[in-house]
Structure 1
Amino acid sequence: MPTDDPSGNAAPITPLSSTNTVANPGHQATTQAAAPPVTVPTGTATEIVQHRCMVCHGCYDAPCQLKLEAQAGLERGASKDLVYNGGRLIEANMTRLFDDALTERGWRKKGFYPVLDKEQPERGVMYRLLELKQAHPLPTDGPMPEGFDFSLARDQQCPRQDEFDSYAEDKPLWGMPYGLPGLNPEQHRTLTSWLDDGAPAPALATLPAAQQQLVTDWETFLNGDTPKQRLMARYVYEHLFLASLYLEAGEQPVWFRLVRSRSEPGKPLDLIATRRPYDDPGVKRVYYRLQRMPVQALAKIHMPYRFDQARMDWYRGLFLEPAYEVPSLPGYEREVASNPFKTFVDIPLPSRYRFLLEEARFTIMNFIKGPVCRGQIALNVIDDHFWVVFADPERMDMDVDARFLSSEMDKMRLPTPATGTVIDLFSWSRYAKAHEKYQRARSRFIRKRSQQGERLTLDSVWDGDGNNANASLTIFRHFDTASVEMGLLGAVPKTAWVIDYPLLERIHYLLVAGFDVYGAVSHQLESRLYMDFLRMEGEFNFLLFMPAEQRLPMWDYWYRDAPKGAREHFIERNALVSETTDIKYETDNPKAELLLALRERIHGAKAAKFDYKRPEDKDIAAQLAAIEAEVGAHNSFMPDVSFVNVIGPQRDRFYTLISNSAHSNIAQLFREDKRRLPAEDSMSIVRGFIGAYPNYFFQVEVKELPQFASAIAALGSADDYRKFRARYGVARNASWFWRFADKAHARYQWLDPVEFGLFDLNRYNGY
């Protein structure tokens, strides 16, 4: 039996609906003889909140800051203040759930107001929003009613309890879920009964004794007394503070996070909450603790990281067994703490690089998902589709590299706000000049080593040691969000990066550890501008593998119409004309030749998990391949991320269609639309799911796939797309909308329970 399980095991069969029929009036209904697993848990109040409310209310972009991924967010309530505010001149007070206030009273002092009414539950905002939707349901036929605004920049409506009557009178269709079908009667009764009972928190399952012992072992390990142990623990914490830690895999993993505490292991946690993980904790001795997180995973911020005994043993071998000394522990002065090359100079460079490299997808994912739930300006610094590979640690002369980094560490400092105001922008020139000096020194370093006969070969790229699929990554940008996956997915991209230790470390400290979503506009701009340097460095590293005479033409193509300064920054200051490679190319397209060779050579680069070209689905694969092969403006009409359910007798598959927007260059901060090149737009297709924010759902019968593919290729206007969407799409107000969403969630969780997180529907197209 065909299956979506990469292991080849057959999926359990559960129908999409009670009749096992896809109810889409755009095409003829089809009975599914072999539907995928759809045992959707939406029976308890907690499950209903997760699958109907949390899918829009999570992360920093939760409407009205009402975050529902945990009971603590519901009790905190809502706020009219915006986290994402591009015009903020001074940094904002932070409102991080679980960090910046720990009690309901504390959140009230920060301006949050309740959405529950414990005295009269039926008067609570959440209760009344649910009732409003029941009284005024969306029409299930035809277009969405006028008046809805689904843009991320919409004016948020956050009524307090005493404002609700006016809200309901003005916007009767704006009950919850907003702009989506309401709860079915049974779900509504369950949820309102729960609210009538005071919305009690679900009980946390008791941690098994073996896992509790592992928590104790980890806290003991991370709080050793020697300088070497303490420096290791600080390095680990500053790189894992956003991780969703799990001690063992399972259908329902238990999640933890690594935090700093004033209290030692064995005592109640006394959380230290600072703006950045390297800020001064204000205590003489920091303790690193594991805090259990009573949350439902959200795909857009979920970054699982295994924290078992094998990991602990690896850390011991990586950081504690090598013979090195830590004469004194570094402090938390801003100029030191924000520069990892200074803070952790005593830890051997091979240990630091291996730590980041062995979990490279997680390392990069921190930048992609980390503190940003939306960021068009932050993310327009990267192309819509590119590949990433890494310098092989066994082919690097670590001693030589360490001496070079030691001599240049002052030039590698990253933008760190001093005042939290626009005044910080005046320091930009200092960072730019320091970076320029570093690049000049690096250029001389590369030329010298090339002249000494140290040339690049295929072996200079890490192959994953034959067993680690983190050795190659694909990054997709979806306008203001992005995804990173293991393997080299899609067609050969326009650009590629080669990342070494200095670049990988700076990406983390600039865009993760040092990035503040509550920061002033000056901080956002500085981070964006500096990331230009880091992107160009990764591209430059790749160009060093190309024939010398093709590097500058290739660079010019990547930076068409870019300002002179952006185009010449690396051309003038780097060793692009040095003979740096010993690779003998046999074609006139060395970029594709190298990348395809690496896809054959690097472990896991073919990414079988996402490969839709499987023998059992060859008829489906042929049609999907036709869509992927067609580059052109027709792709610009498709959503950034679409989930497509292909159905038929004995068939039920999910695929993701990713629209890649082309640009003449990405070296400029604003006016992105002026640099668009729709004629070069492409489509990438994978089996399963990529992307935390689906923009649209499509349902297609196997026999209709040829017409589906032809219709995409024929798109030439917004009206064409509307007709296409009406035939194959699932509108926001479709009566079967939730069945499709539940089915996608169930399939995703079944495929990978550790990676699974609920999708966010805030970017679902408003049709």
Structure 2
Amino acid sequence: MPIFFLLLASLLLSLPLSAAPVSYSREVQPILTQKCVACHACYDAPCQLNLGSAAGAQRGATSVAVYNGKRIEAQATTRLFVDARTEEGWRASGFHSVLAGGDAALVARMLELGRAHAPVPGARLPDDLDIGIYRDNQCPTPEQFDDFARRNPGAGMPFAVSGLSDAEYATLRRWLAEGARLDGEPVLANASEAAQIAEWEALFNRPGAREQLVARWLYEHLFIAHLYFDAGAGGRFFELVRSRTPSGEPVDVIATRRPNDDPGARFFYRLRPVQGVIVHKTHITYALSPRKLARVEELFFAGDWTTDAVPGYGPQRRANPFETFAAIPAQARYQFMLDDAEYFVRTFIRGPVCRGQIATDVIRDHFWTLFQAPAHDLYLLDADYRERVTPLLALPGQEDDLARLPMVWHDYRRKLSAYERARSEAYSHQPWPSWSHVWAGNDNALLSIFRQHDSASVRKGLIGAVPQTLWWLDFPLLERTYYQLVVNFDVFGNVSHQAQTRLYFDLIRNGAEQNFLRLMPPDARQAILHDWYQEGGLLKLWLNYERIDAETPTGLRLPSDDPKGAFAALLLERYGTLNARPDPLNRCSNGRCYRAKAAPAVRQIDQRLSALAARPLAELPAIEFLPEATLLRVELDGGEREVYSLLRNRAHSNVAFMLGESLRYQPEKDTLTLYPEVLSSYPNFLFSLREGEVNAFVASLQQARSAADFDLIVQRWGVRRSDPRYWNLFHDLSAHIRETQPVETGVLDMNRYQNL
């Protein structure tokens, strides 16, 4: 009998075993995260195919583009995890499957096409292959694929980049052949997070008009955040939503176009986990903690203010948040925003819409932002003044009838002009602005902004050389910018809505610049302003902007020859303890152009690279050939690596017009900022070199005079899209963020990675 069982066991072991089905969550999503999410996430995902989650893969693709600056009518919203909950719901919205059909699935055929026409490893892509973000994504259905592939042989997936390994390709094909099963559990809060969620939901859902008005204001200021607890140790993030269900029950999100639209039913504020892969471009973080909870109590509920009712909803309530929330002390509202100013500026500068030229072409490529101290903000201090100007602070964009655009815009422009005149007159009777008027409450007080065409980034601290422009934001400027570009902005809106948003932000920018000019000597203000608005900008100054106050003195003693430069030097000296990012590379004044706390080897690298920092094109002609956001990766002999951003700051004669930006470029005035951090969600190119090659790299850039010279640098150190190392090195940038700023880490975007 034992022999019989041994023979039977031997026979069973010799039979072929059927492999377990491929797991989407354990085997497929990691491949998609590594090779697909860098393009297929957010609203700018080609064909709206979002591959950061099972829900996105199941939703599929559509030929309807989110970004369409010419559409006459607003289109239906298509927000993942919000606007439809089932596959059937997305099919009804015009999305087609990319998974159905096994080996004939659209994804399978796209992968096959990409494998059959893979780029030559390490080579530059063909010039006739359009890889730009404005390319025409044809979004074929399975029935249209054969014709699509015949006309576009280079459009397979992964698109125009080093592709899948043999093992990755085999896993995905097998998964599709097995029916593309989707598994995995949703992200859930742990016990500590759940307890804190309960506390915050209790705060947001307190009964009473006063309590609900505060909750509504807080919701409209946090709805876009990736909220986290316990210093982000759990790696989970949450979002604040309006739900039909109360705490303790599953969240049932009410899907409104805007966060300040009428929910149409009784609702509860709820916190739910963010699902899917975290991508850096939409990852705008905000910390919730017992300390923050206490701060909300202190700011909003310690006083004795009251209100009888919570205002309703509608266009007028959206247009003027100053009226809607007038009962809440303005001091509390402004201070709450100042406490985390980087977050609020990040929401409208970096933004979650992923392609923001409608806003970014209003700003310069590099500037610093300061804030007016609450103790010297008239809107907070003078109730009569506040009551008089509040009706003038209404924001356009609520009415999107294209035929009425001129009339609507004229009305809002008239109100803003009246406000600017009233503001200027009121401040002319106040104490002259001095250092005490510049807020210095914490390290959010000093911010640096960098723009790269249709994207931008914000960092605490003063990075780079002294910029051409500085903004000084008070509460009305900060709140209007936030509502205009975040709360009220509709990425699915029509051309009228987007034009009104762009035009009004132009006026807000001018207001922030003019506010800064109040700190300059009166006789220097006009010259500084004319430097900001050169050529056609002078005409715009005369036609569209309010006149600056060139008479009221400043409380600062600044030299007349370069008051802005002197102000910046004093700012760095006086506010040094608040400067979160000291910058000895771009502002090296003592010969020690390196980070003081860096290791000796890193100091040497900093010192050598600083020869490129803050240089204009006249001194560094290679700037002409650099993209706007280049990353530099240096491998140290000990195995570590450092990462630097090389940001090309494009110069403009002015940024005052909606169209013709390229006509206002002043490339001869372009400069380069070099900083040891990843300063963009959208790398345009990557250089990778060893520690011993830094001197050669710097010398090569310094000596480059032509496109041919620069091409030699790319060939030696560049990481092209076709490079077999591409994906490992590209994701190593995210790894660097994870190591240095773990809460901020996310997959970077490669849609703007150039074909150098």
**Which residue in 2 is equivalent to 1:619?**
604
TM-score (normalizing by structure 2): 0.91
Q: Please, which of 230, 241, 245 is the counterpart of residue 223 of structure 2?
A: 241
CA contact (8 A) 2:99 2:105 kept: yes
> 2: CA distance between counterparts of 1:373 and 1:426?
31
Shift of residue 132, structure 1, vs aligned partner = 2.9
Q: Please, which of 99, 106, 131 is the counterpart of residue 89 of structure 2?
A: 106
SS in 1 for 2:246: coil
CA gap of 1:611–1:300, structure 2 versus 1, over 3 A, is farther
CA gap of 1:563–1:219, structure 2 versus 1, over 3 A, is same
CA gap of 1:501–1:764, structure 2 versus 1, over 3 A, is same
Q: Mapping of 1:518-667 within 5 angstroms? A: 518-568=492-542, 573-579=547-553, 581-586=554-559, 588-602=561-575, 605-608=578-581, 613-615=594-596, 616=600, 617-632=602-617, 634=621, 635-650=623-638, 652-667=641-656
Q: Please, which of 452, 475, 485 is the counterpart of residue 501 of structure 1?
A: 475
Shift of residue 100, structure 1, vs aligned partner = 1.6
CA gap of 1:472–1:176, structure 2 versus 1, over 3 A, is same
Q: Which AA in structure 2 matches 1:63?
A: P
Shift of residue 194, structure 1, vs aligned partner = 3.7
CA contact (8 A) 1:54 1:67 kept: yes
CA gap of 1:400–1:84, structure 2 versus 1, over 3 A, is same
Q: Mapping of 1:691-702 within 5 angstroms? A: 691-702=680-691
CA RMSD, 1 decimal:
2.1
Q: Mapping of 1:404-443 within 5 angstroms? A: 404-443=385-424
Shift of residue 563, structure 1, vs aligned partner = 4.4
CA contact (8 A) 2:612 2:672 kept: yes
**Which residue in 1 is equivalent to 2:372?**
391
Q: Which AA in structure 2 matches 1:628?
A: A
Could you give the per-residue CA deviations for residues 701-745 of structure 1, whole angstroms, max 9, x where no partner exists? 333323322333344443333233222211111111112113222
Could you give the per-residue CA deviations for residues 502-540 of structure 1, whole angstroms, max 9, x where no partner exists? 100000111111111111111111111111111011111
Shift of residue 138, structure 1, vs aligned partner = 2.1
Q: Please, which of 142, 151, 155 is the counterpart of residue 161 of structure 1?
A: 142
Q: Which AA in structure 2 matches 1:329?
A: V
CA gap of 1:388–1:131, structure 2 versus 1, over 3 A, is same
Could you give the per-residue CA deviations for residues 109-150 of structure 1, whole angstroms, max 9, x where no partner exists? 110001111xx4222111222233334432114322454211
> 2: CA distance between counterparts of 1:286 and 1:207?
22
Q: Please, which of 48, 59, 66 is the counterpart of residue 83 of structure 1?
A: 66
> 1: CA distance between counterparts of 2:575 and 2:179?
56
CA contact (8 A) 1:66 1:78 kept: yes
Q: Which AA in structure 2 matches 1:379?
A: T
CA gap of 1:149–1:605, structure 2 versus 1, over 3 A, is farther
Q: Mapping of 1:221-240 within 5 angstroms? A: 221-240=203-222
Could you give the per-residue CA deviations for residues 530-576 of structure 1, whole angstroms, max 9, x where no partner exists? 11111011111111111111011111111111344522368753423
> 1: CA distance between counterparts of 2:322 and 2:714?
52
Shift of residue 385, structure 1, vs aligned partner = 0.2
SS in 2 for 1:482: strand
SS in 1 for 2:450: strand
Q: Please, which of 725, 735, 738 is the counterpart of residue 749 of structure 1?
A: 738
> 5+ unaligned residues in a row in structure 1: which ranges?
1-41
TM-score (normalizing by structure 1): 0.89
Could you give the per-residue CA deviations for residues 637-675 of structure 1, whole angstroms, max 9, x where no partner exists? 211101101124235211010000001111111111111
Stretch deviating more after TM superposition (402-411 or 343-352): 402-411
Q: Which AA in structure 1 matches 2:626?
A: M
Could you give the per-residue CA deviations for residues 194-226 of structure 1, whole angstroms, max 9, x where no partner exists? 443524232235532222122222211101111
CA gap of 1:193–1:313, structure 2 versus 1, over 3 A, is farther
Q: Which AA in structure 2 matches 1:509?
A: Y
**Which residue in 2 is equivalent to 1:400?**
381
> 2: CA distance between counterparts of 1:330 and 1:684?
47
> 1: CA distance between counterparts of 2:401 and 2:48?
22
**Which residue in 1 is equivalent to 2:278?**
297
CA gap of 1:510–1:540, structure 2 versus 1, over 3 A, is same
CA gap of 1:564–1:684, structure 2 versus 1, over 3 A, is closer
CA gap of 1:102–1:266, structure 2 versus 1, over 3 A, is same
CA contact (8 A) 1:43 1:187 kept: no
CA contact (8 A) 1:463 1:601 kept: no
Could you give the per-residue CA deviations for residues 274-296 of structure 1, whole angstroms, max 9, x where no partner exists? 1111112212x332111222122
SS in 2 for 1:45: helix
> 5+ unaligned residues in a row in structure 2: which ranges?
1-24, 586-593
CA gap of 1:48–1:343, structure 2 versus 1, over 3 A, is same
Stretch deviating more after TM superposition (255-264 or 720-729): 720-729
**Which residue in 2 is equivalent to 1:178?**
159
1:517 aligns with 2:502: no
CA contact (8 A) 1:242 1:370 kept: no
CA contact (8 A) 2:400 2:497 kept: no
> 1: CA distance between counterparts of 2:459 and 2:721?
28
> 2: CA distance between counterparts of 1:627 and 1:170?
44
SS in 2 for 1:232: helix
**Which residue in 2 is equivalent to 1:29?**
none
Shift of residue 609, structure 1, vs aligned partner = 7.7
SS in 2 for 1:577: coil
Runs of 4+ in 1 over 6 A off after TM superposition: none
**Which residue in 1 is equivalent to 2:439?**
462
> 2: CA distance between counterparts of 1:413 and 1:367?
18
Identity %: 37
> 2: CA distance between counterparts of 1:141 and 1:362?
39
CA gap of 1:734–1:477, structure 2 versus 1, over 3 A, is same
**Which residue in 1 is equivalent to 2:241?**
259
Q: Which AA in structure 2 matches 1:457?
A: S
1:735 aligns with 2:724: yes
Rg (Cα) greater in structure: 2
In the alignment of these two chains, the number of paired residues is 715
CA gap of 1:699–1:204, structure 2 versus 1, over 3 A, is same
SS in 2 for 1:475: strand
**Which residue in 1 is equivalent to 2:362?**
381
Q: Please, which of 54, 61, 70 is the counterpart of residue 37 of structure 2?
A: 54
> 2: CA distance between counterparts of 1:213 and 1:251?
15
1:759 aligns with 2:748: yes
Q: Please, which of 207, 211, 223 is the counterpart of residue 189 of structure 2?
A: 207
Stretch deviating more after TM superposition (180-189 or 610-619): 610-619
Shift of residue 299, structure 1, vs aligned partner = 1.0
> 1: CA distance between counterparts of 2:495 and 2:741?
38
Could you give the per-residue CA deviations for residues 46-83 of structure 1, whole angstroms, max 9, x where no partner exists? 22111211010011110000012222111110000111
CA contact (8 A) 2:210 2:309 kept: no
Shift of residue 327, structure 1, vs aligned partner = 2.2
CA gap of 1:534–1:715, structure 2 versus 1, over 3 A, is farther
**Which residue in 1 is equivalent to 2:316?**
335
SS in 1 for 2:657: coil
Q: Mapping of 1:675-694 within 5 angstroms? A: 675-694=664-683
> 2: CA distance between counterparts of 1:422 and 1:262?
37
> 1: CA distance between counterparts of 2:53 and 2:407?
41
> 1: CA distance between counterparts of 2:232 and 2:346?
22
Stretch deviating more after TM superposition (428-437 or 557-566): 557-566
SS in 2 for 1:85: coil
> 1: CA distance between counterparts of 2:667 and 2:703?
14
CA gap of 1:208–1:603, structure 2 versus 1, over 3 A, is farther
> 2: CA distance between counterparts of 1:171 and 1:387?
45
CA contact (8 A) 1:389 1:473 kept: yes
> 2: CA distance between counterparts of 1:420 and 1:75?
35
> 2: CA distance between counterparts of 1:274 and 1:387?
35
Stretch deviating more after TM superposition (371-380 or 403-412): 371-380
CA gap of 1:207–1:193, structure 2 versus 1, over 3 A, is farther
CA contact (8 A) 1:637 1:715 kept: no
SS in 1 for 2:514: helix
Shift of residue 237, structure 1, vs aligned partner = 0.8
CA contact (8 A) 1:611 1:687 kept: no
CA gap of 1:565–1:201, structure 2 versus 1, over 3 A, is farther
CA gap of 1:334–1:603, structure 2 versus 1, over 3 A, is farther
